């Protein structure tokens, strides 16, 4: 059986960039996880439908992109509950959750448990938000050890807080490169909930 890797995309969906990433995945028959901002999901229900129709996974990211460590517990509770209600409106009951900036607190973990959500971090960070070229990002990933079974790779299919780039074209290009490497290394890109790796 092939080992799996998880390509993950935060902050979308985006009307321009999410379809391009979905097209890149489709060309290789690959799947991924999109950790969505709930308001963007509501604004783009067709993109949520496209993600699901392609066999990829929709996970919850946030309503407001604020570190949980900077919010009282009540605000984290409200963000999650509002986000899940919004996602339910577009037919999504997520099993995966990635907190904004990957920052988890005791409240985050307790809420995940009570809502039957698995929290996901990453072990390979592309830093695509900085605007580096795809080849440079790939070289940086190689320096982190390259692709291995069980890897969870962080990318973004929309412009979120702190982004230093004007678009996600290099993330689309990096996706193509990673899919080619995965195929040549007998690694199967999957959604995090179907990933054989143990990282979370």
- Out of 10, 79, 132, 151, pick the active-site residue: 10
Q: What is the mean pLDDT of residues 136-147?
A: 93
Query: Residues near 155 by Cβ (< 8 Å), separated by ≥ 6?
Result: 7, 8, 9, 10, 126, 128, 171, 174, 175
Mean pLDDT of the chain: 95
Q: What is the pLDDT of residues 7-65, one digit of tens each?
A: 999 999 999 999 999 999 999 999 999 999 999 999 999 999 999 999 999 999 999 99
- pLDDT at position 162 is 85
- pLDDT at position 17 is 98
Confidence class for position 200, pLDDT limits 50, 70, 90 = very low
Residue 71 confidence (pLDDT) above 80? yes
Q: Give the CA angle between residues 66, 72, 78 to the nearest 5°.
A: 70
- CA torsion angle for 84, 198, 158, 47 (degrees, to 10)? -60
Residue 197 confidence (pLDDT) above 60? no
Q: What is the pLDDT of residues 93-112, one digit of tens each?
A: 999 999 999 999 999 999 99
Does the annotation mark 10 as catalytic?
yes
The whole-angstrom separation of Cα 194 and Cα 200 is 12
- Out of 11, 14, 61, 156, pick the active-site residue: 156
- pLDDT at position 177 is 97
**In a 3-state reduction of DSSP, which class is residue 79?**
helix
Q: Which two tokens stand for residue 146?
A: 């390259």
Tokens 């995945």: give the residue: 25
Euclidean distance between the first and the last CA atom of the chain, given in angstroms as a whole number: 21
Architecture of domain 3-194: Alpha-Beta Barrel (3.20)
pTM, two decimal places: 0.95
Residue 195 confidence (pLDDT) above 90? no
């Amino acid at each position: 059986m092939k080992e799996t890797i998880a390509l993950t995309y935060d902050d979308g969906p985006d009307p321009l960039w999410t379809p391009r990433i979905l097209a890149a995945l489709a060309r290789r028959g690959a799947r991924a996880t999109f950790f969505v901002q709930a308001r963007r999901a509501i604004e783009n229900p067709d993109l949520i439908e496209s993600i699901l129709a392609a066999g990829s996974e929709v996970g919850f990211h946030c309503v407001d992109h604020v570190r949980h460590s900077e919010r009282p517990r009540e605000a984290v509770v409200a963000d999650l509950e509002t986000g899940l209600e919004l996602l339910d409106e577009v037919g999504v009951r997520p099993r995966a959750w990635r907190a904004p900036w990957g920052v988890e607190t005791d409240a985050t973990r307790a809420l995940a448990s009570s809502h039957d959500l698995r929290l996901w971090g990453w072990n390979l960070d592309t830093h695509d938000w900085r605007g580096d070229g795809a080849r440079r990002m790939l070289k940086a990933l190689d320096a982190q050890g390259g692709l291995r079974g069980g890897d969870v790779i962080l990318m973004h299919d929309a412009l979120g807080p702190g982004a230093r780039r004007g678009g996600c074209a290099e993330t689309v290009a990096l996706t193509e490169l990673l899919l080619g490497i995965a195929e040549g290394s007998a690694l199967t890109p999957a959604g995090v909930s179907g990933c054989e790796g143990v990282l979370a």
